[in-house]
Chain A
Amino acid sequence: MNLMSAISVALLALRVNLLRSVLAMLGIIIGVSAVIAMVSVTEGAKRAMEERIASFGANLLVIRPGSSAFGGRRGGAGTATFLTDADVEAIRSEIPGIVAVSGEMSGSQPMVVAGENWTTNVQGVHSDYFEARDWFVESGRAFTPAEVRSGARVIMIGQTVATELFGAAGPLGQTVRVGAVPMEVIGIMAPKGQSSWGSDQDDTVFAPITTARSRLFGYQFGVRDPVFTIYAEVAPGTNVSHAVADIEELLRVRRNIQPGAEDDFSVNNLAEFIRARNETETQLGVLLAAAAVISLLVGGIGIMNIMLVSVTERTREIGLRLAVGARRADVRNQFLIESVVLCVTGGIAGMAIGVAGAYGIGNLGDFPVSIHPAIAGIAIGAAVFVGLFFGFYPAHRASRLDPIEALRFE
């Protein structure tokens, strides 16, 4: 008996009892659709997060005083000693594989020009900052190392600030009062969009860190040339964890930390952050897989039940087929194929519902949704497996019937 005619016999048997077939498939449909919807939504969220992190710079190390984890509390004055320009220089000259390193110090300042005013976050940075963050001027120019050394009164402004302060007029060459200090706009930054925590990254102004320190944030920090944060970019292909260890060792020496004592600073790496996220996602994936297995198990038991009913109902048919020459394997295969067809039909329906559901959820909650093409293969593969596994016992029972007794069955 060939496969095609077996499949058409199976489809006929399923059509004859359409409602019952659909009910039997329900477990598979619900299981497959739920799993596909959940996987697609979580996959989409993960992708979006990865894109945001990539826009921040994956090879970036973030060094802060205090021992907080990435994105955690900032070690402000009093909680730990500041890092300094000297630390920045030490990292630049002593750590191999560092391509750019910059200190950063920031605060909110009012900006005034020609009657317009706008309060924004002013960041004092070294000239390497832009390379480290992969963020460059779109028009005009960036300040030079010499301007940083001399404390020049120049700024580069983000897109939001440019729009708010100057509207349609060209800001380049204009003088803006930042706090109490007049500064010349020499560059406009390329648009960067939202940060991973949703703030507008273009609502910012960059000034040489020396200028910001002496003229804008004019209070005492208790150390010479302090910085809040150091950003260091590791060359692509460099072992990031080695670079982290090297920096930690350097700073421990520079900050006189005794062996055995805890660091009073932290070196965090976005790649690690991503890895930590991925681990959580792996755990979520295990949960999803468990949900999938359980739903397929329940679905499979439904299939087995309906197949047993079908075998009993069609005992006479089986007897007839045996009488006219079906071998046991023919009968077994016929019911196995029916079971697989039932499961695969359910799997396809579940997949369609799952994909539609994922887009529905994505639309409602404004999530990105990512549907992996492999999901189709996995869903169908799982359906075939369930069909074979749970169809085997009923099919085997059918093939072991005695033709005479089967023909006499009422």
Chain B
Amino acid sequence: MAAPLIECRDLTRVYRMGGGEVRALDGVSLTIDEGEYVAIMGASGSGKSTFMNLLGALDRPTSGSLKVAGEAIETMGPDQLAAFRNRTIGFVFQQFNLLARTSAEDNAALPLIYSGLKGAERRERARARLQQVGLGERMDHHPSQLSGGQQQRVAIARALVNNPRILLADEPTGALDSQTTVEVLGIFDRLNAEGITVILVTHEQDVADHARRQIVFRDGRIVEDRR
């Protein structure tokens, strides 16, 4: 069997602030294979976002080792991490984080600016991804002209535009109503069926039920890992 896509051993992340310190992650060991569909659950403050930030190479662990797509995250500098995120990771945020007064197309094309692609190719790929998430008719719309569900689909198109191996979504449906939640999850299901590894954080069991593996955090540790 091939090496796992994500492999973490004794992963710890301690936030120091003022006098005290918070052990947001406390010795997490885990492997995730290519093509898995994982839901991460747990109470507020249990360390889910901290864990996702590490998987997404936005942050580095205080101790322990983390290998993602063959790269040792804890050894990389800021610019190496940036290039790694650009190539390998797609992010979907609860708050969409689209650029205001910028068209859906330009929003979706944003990561490609940092891959050094030419304007024409950026546009072409952004359009293809917007088509894929069902926004072919809304390419020129600005975020303020789109519904929440549509905005989140633009954000998904942006996450996919550079063909990442891993899609990380931290509470992607947290700001959506139940109807659009279903639509967005449908997109995730399809993407996973096409082979992309999807990892999402959620508080809702019926969202988590879309995934084939559910991991539950409590106080910075994994307390349950069921498939």
- Which A residues are within 8 Å of any B CB, using their own CB? 1-2, 5, 12, 16, 316-317, 319-330, 403-404, 407
B158 contacts chain A at the CB level, 8 A cutoff: yes
Known contacts A320-B97, A320-B99; decide if A325 and B82 are in contact (CB<8 Å). Answer: yes
CA of A404 to CA of B56 in the docked complex: distance in angstroms? 11
Number of interface residues of B (CB under 8 A): 26
Residues in A whose Cβ lies below 8 Å from that of B34: none
Q: Is the CB of A5 within 8 A of B79?
A: no
Residues in B whose Cβ lies below 8 Å from that of A329: 79
Q: Return the chain A residue nearest B109 by Cβ.
A: A5
Known contacts A317-B99, A327-B82; decide if A404 and B58 are in contact (CB<8 Å). Answer: yes
CA of A326 to CA of B82 in the docked complex: distance in angstroms? 6
CA of A321 to CA of B98 in the docked complex: distance in angstroms? 10
Q: Return the chain A residue nearest B122 by Cβ.
A: A5
B74 contacts chain A at the CB level, 8 A cutoff: no
User: Which of B62-70, B113-121, B175-183, B194-202 lines the interface with chain A?
Assistant: B113-121
Q: Is the CB of B97 within 8 A of A12?
A: no
Residues in B whose Cβ lies below 8 Å from that of A324: 85-86, 91, 110-111, 114, 158
Closest Cβ–Cβ distance, residue B129 to chain A (whole Å) = 13
Q: Return the chain A residue nearest B117 by Cβ.
A: A2
Q: Return the chain B residue nearest A324 by Cβ.
A: B111
Residues in A whose Cβ lies below 8 Å from that of B99: 317, 320
User: Which DSSP category, helix, strand, loop or mixed, fits chain A's interface?
Assistant: helix
Q: Is the CB of B79 within 8 A of A327?
A: yes
Q: Is the CB of B114 within 8 A of A328?
A: no
Closest Cβ–Cβ distance, residue B199 to chain A (whole Å) = 15
List 8 additional A-B contacts (Cβ < 8 Å) besides A1-B114, A319-B97, A325-B83. A16-B101, A321-B110, A323-B56, A324-B86, A325-B87, A327-B78, A328-B78, A407-B93
Known contacts A16-B101, A320-B99; decide if A326 and B114 are in contact (CB<8 Å). Answer: yes
Q: Is the CB of A323 within 8 A of B119?
A: no
Known contacts A5-B119, A16-B101; decide if A323 and B113 are in contact (CB<8 Å). Answer: no
Q: Is the CB of B110 within 8 A of A407?
A: no
Provide 10 A-B residue pairs closer than 8 Å at the C-beta atoms, listed in order of the A residue.
A5-B113, A319-B97, A320-B97, A320-B110, A322-B82, A324-B86, A324-B111, A325-B86, A325-B114, A404-B59
Residues in B whose Cβ lies below 8 Å from that of A12: 101-102
Residues in B whose Cβ lies below 8 Å from that of A403: 58
Residues in B whose Cβ lies below 8 Å from that of A1: 113-114
CA of A324 to CA of B86 in the docked complex: distance in angstroms? 5
Q: Return the chain B residue nearest A13 by Cβ.
A: B101
Closest Cβ–Cβ distance, residue A8 to chain B (whole Å) = 10
Contact with A along B92-134 (1 / 0, CB 8 A): 0100010101100000001101111001000000000000000
Residues in B whose Cβ lies below 8 Å from that of A407: 93, 97
Residues in A whose Cβ lies below 8 Å from that of B86: 324-325
Contact with A along B147-191 (1 / 0, CB 8 A): 000000000001000100000000000000000000000000000
Which residue of the partner chain, among B53, B85, B97, B119, contacts A325 with CB atoms under 8 Å?
A: B85
Residues in B whose Cβ lies below 8 Å from that of A404: 53, 58-59
Q: Is the CB of A327 within 8 A of B158?
A: no
CA of A317 to CA of B98 in the docked complex: distance in angstroms? 8
Residues in A whose Cβ lies below 8 Å from that of B116: 2
Residues in A whose Cβ lies below 8 Å from that of B101: 12, 16
Q: Return the chain A residue nearest B114 by Cβ.
A: A325
Closest Cβ–Cβ distance, residue B22 to chain A (whole Å) = 14
Q: Is the CB of B83 within 8 A of A327?
A: yes
Closest Cβ–Cβ distance, residue B58 to chain A (whole Å) = 5
Residues in A whose Cβ lies below 8 Å from that of B53: 404
CA of A15 to CA of B158 in the docked complex: distance in angstroms? 25
Closest Cβ–Cβ distance, residue B204 to chain A (whole Å) = 22
Closest Cβ–Cβ distance, residue A240 to chain B (whole Å) = 64
CA of A107 to CA of B176 in the docked complex: distance in angstroms? 102
Residues in B whose Cβ lies below 8 Å from that of A2: 116
Closest Cβ–Cβ distance, residue B151 to chain A (whole Å) = 13
Q: Return the chain A residue nearest B107 by Cβ.
A: A320
Closest Cβ–Cβ distance, residue A367 to chain B (whole Å) = 47
Residues in A whose Cβ lies below 8 Å from that of B93: 407
Nearest 7 Cβ contacts at the A-B interface: A325-B86, A325-B114, A324-B111, A327-B79, A327-B82, A320-B97, A1-B113
Q: Return the chain A residue nearest B99 by Cβ.
A: A317
Contact with A along B47-59 (1 / 0, CB 8 A): 0000001001011
Residues in B whose Cβ lies below 8 Å from that of A319: 97
Best-surrounded residue of A1, A325, A329 (most CB of chain B within 10 A):
A325
Best-surrounded residue of A12, A330, A403 (most CB of chain B within 10 A):
A403
CA of A383 to CA of B85 in the docked complex: distance in angstroms? 36
